[in-house]
Amino acid sequence: MKSSRLHIIALFIITISVFGSIQTAFAQQNKRVIQLSGVVLGQLDSDSVIQLPGVHIYLPKAGRGQTTNPMGFFSMPVLVGDELVISSVGYQKQKYVVPENAIEYQTIIITLSQDTTFLDDVIVFPFPTEEVFKQAVLALNIPLEDGQIDPRNLNAELMALMMKSTPMDGYQNQRYYLNQWASSQTSRYQPVTNPFLNPFNWAKFFNGLKKDKKK
């Protein structure tokens, strides 16, 4: 008896749920379709705005959306009462609800405010890794009275490792590029020779081998 009652109650709940979903779907189908178009602008300051390309216009209920074109324009079909989410990198997210009294072809202008994010300060050290930095600090002693570092506390192997593993900075890259460019301009109108085809180089090479054998 109890099982039959539970069966009837479960069947009643399922029937109500199905009827409610059908009624909701029917109500959505009766909503008017609006062709929503608009332009998204970005507020730079109190006096100037720009048209924003690539802004995401998303409709969460329908699971679809689009992005604005290079002129900041978009156009998409929606239903009255739908809520759109407008978002772009560097600007505050904004929502827009399609009004019930919207006309068949609705045009809007959306202005997004800038979203300024302040990041924590980053300290950059002239060392390739933190471990090398720690070793360099440990290799140094407290500065002397005249403000100099005791040369006895400079580890030669560590300094050589740092010189070998530390990449070139911007200034060194610029000097290297300028030297390469100057060298190419100097030899631009000169014939390019292969040192392996020079018999004098081979003679020097063999003489060097003979001297090494004598040693």
Q: What is the pLDDT of residue 148?
A: 61
Q: How far is CA 213 from CA 98, 104, 201, in A?
A: 93, 98, 19
Higher confidence at residue 129 or residue 72?
72
Alpha helices in the chain (DSSP H): 2-29, 130-139, 156-165, 170-186, 199-214
Main-chain dihedrals φ then ψ at residue 67, nearest 5 degrees = -120, 155
Higher confidence at residue 182 or residue 40?
40
Main-chain dihedrals φ then ψ at residue 35, nearest 5 degrees = -90, 100
The structural architecture, per CATH, of the domain 30-113 is Sandwich (2.60)
Q: Where exactly does CATH 2.60.40.10 map onto the chain?
A: 30-113
At 117, is the pLDDT very low, low, confident or very high (cuts 50, 70, 90)? Answer: confident
pLDDT digits (tens, 9 = 90+) for 34-43: 999 999 999 8
Q: What is the pLDDT of residue 145?
A: 57
At 198, is the pLDDT very low, low, confident or very high (cuts 50, 70, 90)? Answer: confident
Q: How far apart are CA 59 and CA 69, in angstroms?
A: 17
Q: What is the pLDDT of residue 155?
A: 73
Q: What is the pLDDT of residue 7?
A: 58
pTM (two decimals):
0.44
Higher confidence at residue 136 or residue 212?
136
74: CB partners within 8 A, 6+ apart: 37, 38, 39, 40, 55, 57, 66, 67, 68
Q: What is the pLDDT of residue 26?
A: 43
Higher confidence at residue 113 or residue 2?
113
Q: What is the pLDDT of residue 131?
A: 81
Q: How far apart are CA 85 and CA 57, in angstroms?
A: 6
Q: How far apart are CA 181 and CA 17, in angstroms?
A: 77
The predicted model gives 19-24 an average pLDDT of 48
